[in-house]
Amino acid sequence: MSPLRLPGPPWPDPIVEVRGVRHAYGARVSVDGVSFTAREGEFVGLLGPNGAGKSTLIRLVAGLLAPSAGTVRLAGFDPHATPRRLVARVCALVPQEPRLDWPFTVRDVVMMGRTAHQGLLAIPTREDLGAVEGALAACDLLHLAGRRVDALSGGERRRVFFARALAQEPRVLLLDEPTAFLDLAHQVAAMEMARVAARGGLCVVAVLHDLNLAAAACDRLVALAGGRVVAEGSPSDVLTEERVRDVWGVPVWRGQNQATGATVVLPNVRPVP
């Protein structure tokens, strides 16, 4: 076993703490003085137009990037200064474009989520096998478990990486555009899974472009523009007509889904006469 120890449990509350963080790629400032927190049991959506700094922020939280100013804390520790194996016991990231260069099967890839929990020989324990089967089932992948990931569709492959993150049994689940490339049913399923994970006690932070799915599923939204937080709060507070117009530059109709009560925004695209 590693002599290194993570703080807790009990985990500090909130489990994700970003305070005054700045980051630049060379001369290009990507995140500029951002602060936000997220707690266990909460599903937070990160919104904003292309280039707003959402993916960079997620990578800062995961410890894949270091801030040039400010602090990032994950369960009380600095994720960039902590060995990846220890970070992986707390935090799973599903990136925007997950890649694998070898033709592993779906079950092999999901088992990779268990690496941080395994010993040197990586012999799967009963817990490892149970976590993998549970994640495969949750992501509707049992029928594809023996297939090679390089022979799947883009949407199927995304579900595999989502399952790998679930199998990791993290405390914090970071999702970068989890609904991209998914059909409508699997978009809803992905959001439902994220919500169930949050209700089960995980802290879920997801970058989302679909404002309506975000409004329906997230507890709280953080809107970014130009690397800064421009709004934070409940979906109905954040997604006002004025804000969507100001941040995304698109006039919208804002209403409420009569069946669910969720806030709905629709762009004012005029039908072709």
- The residue ranges that bind ligand ATP (CB under 6 A) are 25, 28, 30, 48, 50-56
- 8 A C-beta contact, residue 164 and residue 88: no
Q: What is the smallest separation between the CB atom of 72 and ligand ATP, expressed in angstroms?
A: 15
Q: What is the smallest separation between the CB atom of 53 and ligand ATP, expressed in angstroms?
A: 5
Q: What is the smallest separation between the CB atom of 30 and ligand ATP, expressed in angstroms?
A: 3
* CB-nearer residue toward ligand ATP: 30 or 82: 30
Q: What is the smallest separation between the CB atom of 2 and ligand ATP, expressed in angstroms?
A: 31
Tokens 């690397």, located at residue: 227
Q: Which residues contact 213 (CB under 8 A, 6 or more apart)?
A: 179, 187, 188, 191
**Cα-based distances in Å from 251 to 52, 176, 243:** 19, 26, 10
- Spell out the alpha helix ranges (H) of the chain: 54-62, 84-90, 106-112, 126-138, 154-167, 184-199, 211-217, 235-238, 241-248
Q: What is the smallest separation between the CB atom of 176 and ligand ATP, expressed in angstroms?
A: 7
Report the DSSP pairing between strands 43-47 and 203-207: parallel
Residue 216 main-chain phi, psi, to 5 deg: -75, -35
Residue 32 main-chain phi, psi, to 5 deg: -130, 90
* CB-nearer residue toward ligand ATP: 49 or 134: 49
* CB-nearer residue toward ligand ATP: 55 or 240: 55
* CB-nearer residue toward ligand ATP: 98 or 134: 98
* CB-nearer residue toward ligand ATP: 55 or 118: 55
Residue 199 main-chain phi, psi, to 5 deg: -65, -25
* CB-nearer residue toward ligand ATP: 133 or 246: 246
Tokens 């925004």, located at residue: 265
Q: What is the smallest separation between the CB atom of 185 and ligand ATP, expressed in angstroms?
A: 24
